[in-house]
Amino acid sequence: MKLVTPKYYEEFKCIAGDCTDTCCAGWDVDVDKKANDYYKSVEGAFGDRLKEVSIHDNEGGCTFRLTRDKRCPFLNSENLCDLFTELGEDKLCDTCAEFPRFINNYGGVKEMGIAPSCITAGEIIFAKRGMMEFSESSIDEEVEPNDIDPFVYMLLRRARSLSFKLINDKDYKLGERVAAFLGMNRDVQRLLDIQEDEQIGNVLKAYEDKELVDNAINAIRERRRETKKLSARKLGIPAEAKYFEIMKHYFDAFEGMEVINPDWYKVCEAVDNFYKEIKSSGKAIELKNEFNEYMGERLEEYEQLFNYTIFRYCLDAVNDYDLLLKAIICIVWYIVLKMAGLAVWYENGKEFDFDKQVDIAHLYSRQFEHSYSNFEVYNEKFVTEEIYSIANLEAICLMLD
């Protein structure tokens, strides 16, 4: 099997007790069958401790019963793992051994990366510049049976490569690049929906043509100008006011939302306070422009966010043929991080350092990517609610430039 990782993957090393957060609190610890079988065999006081907190499932695995403050029962007062020290690193369950790594399997290719839900991983991701680069190696693992269509897989790989290229093309503003990225994935999705896979290559060929991309970007700019005119005519307010109102709802909680880290709601509160301020002052665009100027070259951190999300999500469409949803996930990630950064910058007296960017990303990643229930609800919202429509996403990204 071939293993593909970002080149920065090998830079990651867990800093354990020195971490400002812990990956062993806030969520359930799912233990795989192999690890659980071993834990059942452990004898003595530590074996009794394992049996006391293990809640077994019907598939041979288990979860650990969390403490009252939602910490893993084996996370000690120094934020170190008692399982690790008592039994050894090789006896950790897959969940603990892999975090913050994610794995996507595509037949004979395994892709692995690191997620910004871990602060240390986030520091690595956001510090990079330029297009994501990859390392490839061969690993001694058997290829598992799968239903992947090899023709569609190669098309989606090509689409993902083009997505990286579009997002990292500095000839255009980031919002324009995002709009082109969205348009390309929308066009591919239309063909997937009607099972015209053989036509997808023509779409990709068009977006690989620099002149045609220029034409597409110019059309996007024209739509932006017309949107402003239409909004002023029909609503009597600047278009930006409408889109800031929409963005505010990207932070809404929903009934039954799982809370991974309560600090996320501090970010949501900052966004709410910022919205109240711009609603009364009417300075939304003025403050947005000031924030962009403040960020300067650090705006490239948002390109790195796209590199991460495109790598993690877009090729996974080979399993469900829902490429457009994957593109929306990438774009909402960007909008949420940009809006949260703007709000926190304003709340902190117009200061927003690199560590704060990493912190917000780690909170959102945990809330969105690491809760199965939250992830499912969000994805349903992305394809059913008007605030996440293609028109709104495009307009918001253009406005955020």
Would you say 29 and 93 are in contact if contact means Cβ atoms under 8 Å apart? yes
Q: Tell me, yes or no, whether 377 lies in a domain.
A: yes
Q: What single-letter DSSP state applies at residue 54?
A: E
| pLDDT mean over 141-151 | 89
The torsion angles phi and psi of 382, rounded to 5 degrees, stand at -60, -30
pLDDT given for residue 232 in this prediction: 47
Instruction: Tell me the CA distances in angstroms from 399 to 170, 224, 242, 317, 393, one per residue in order.
Output: 17, 9, 11, 28, 10
Q: Please say which residue of 38, 69, 98 terminates a domain.
A: 98
| pLDDT mean over 361-370 | 93
Alpha helices in 26-93 (DSSP H): 33-41, 44-53, 82-87
Whose CA is closest to 116, among 388, 301, 351?
301
Confidence category of residue 23, pLDDT binned at 50, 70, 90: low
Would you say 295 and 400 are in contact if contact means Cβ atoms under 8 Å apart? no
pLDDT above 60 (res 236): no
The total number of structural domains that make up the chain: 2
Q: What is the pLDDT of residues 375-395, one digit of tens each?
A: 999 999 999 999 999 999 998
Q: Tell me, yes or no, whether 357 lies in a domain.
A: yes
Q: Tell me, yes or no, whether 332 lies in a domain.
A: yes
Please state at what angle helix 239-248 crosses helix 284-295, rounded to 10 degrees.
70
Q: Two tokens at 89?
A: 């690193």
Q: Tell me, yes or no, whether 117 lies in a domain.
A: no
pLDDT given for residue 3 in this prediction: 94
Percent of the chain with pLDDT strictly greater than 70: 93
Q: Please say which residue of 72, 98, 124 terminates a domain.
A: 98
Whose CA is closest to 330, among 346, 315, 345?
315
Cβ within 8 Å of residue 208, ≥6 positions away: 162, 165
My answer on whether 68 and 160 are in the same domain is no
DSSP 331-381: HHHHHHHHHHHHHHHHHTTS---HHHHHHHHHHHHHHHHS-HHHHHHHHHH
My answer on whether 164 and 54 are in the same domain is no
Residue that the structure tokens 């929906």 belong to: 193
pLDDT above 50 (res 235): no
Q: How many helices, marked H, and strands, marked E, lie in the chain?
A: 18, 7
Q: What single-letter DSSP state applies at residue 114?
A: E
pLDDT above 60 (res 170): yes
Task: Kindly report which listed range (42-51, 181-190, 218-227, 241-250) carries the lowest average pLDDT score.
Answer: 218-227
Task: Kindly report which listed range (223-232, 246-255, 292-301) carries the lowest average pLDDT score.
Answer: 223-232
pLDDT above 80 (res 17): no
Q: How far apart are the C-alpha atoms of 315 and 386, rounded to whole Å?
A: 25
Q: What is the pLDDT of residues 286-323, one digit of tens each?
A: 999 999 999 999 999 999 999 999 999 999 999 999 99
Q: Which domain holds residue 245?
A: 150-400
pLDDT given for residue 26 in this prediction: 65
Cβ within 8 Å of residue 92, ≥6 positions away: 35, 81, 83, 84
Cβ within 8 Å of residue 396, ≥6 positions away: 243, 246, 247, 335
My answer on whether 94 and 157 are in the same domain is no
My answer on whether 81 and 178 are in the same domain is no
CA 275 to chain centroid? 24
My answer on whether 193 and 46 are in the same domain is no
- Average pLDDT over the chain reads 89
Q: How far apart are the C-alpha atoms of 38 and 341, rounded to whole Å?
A: 45
pLDDT above 60 (res 254): yes
Would you say 191 and 321 are in contact if contact means Cβ atoms under 8 Å apart? no
Percent of the chain with pLDDT strictly greater than 90: 61
Q: Which amino acid belongs to residue 361? A: A
- HSE-up of residue 48 (Cα within 13 Å, Cβ side): 2
Q: How far apart are the C-alpha atoms of 379 and 392, rounded to whole Å?
A: 16
Q: How far apart are the C-alpha atoms of 186 and 191, rounded to whole Å?
A: 9
Q: What single-letter DSSP state applies at residue 35?
A: H
Q: Please say which residue of 98, 133, 158 terminates a domain.
A: 98
pLDDT above 50 (res 237): no
Q: How far apart are the C-alpha atoms of 377 and 307, rounded to whole Å?
A: 24
In the chain, what's the furthest Cα-to-Cα distance?
76
pLDDT above 80 (res 79): no
Q: Tell me, yes or no, whether 385 lies in a domain.
A: yes
Cis amide prior to 100 (ω within 30 degrees): yes
Would you say 304 and 114 are in contact if contact means Cβ atoms under 8 Å apart? no
CA 177 to chain centroid? 18
My answer on whether 88 and 182 are in the same domain is no
pLDDT above 60 (res 233): no
Q: Tell me, yes or no, whether 122 lies in a domain.
A: no
Beta strands (DSSP E) in 70-217 are 101-106, 109-114, 134-138
Between strands 2-6 and 134-138, the pairing is: antiparallel
Would you say 374 and 368 are in contact if contact means Cβ atoms under 8 Å apart? yes
Q: Tell me, yes or no, whether 106 lies in a domain.
A: no
My answer on whether 237 and 358 are in the same domain is yes
Q: What single-letter DSSP state applies at residue 81?
A: B
Beta bridge partners of 109: 2, 106
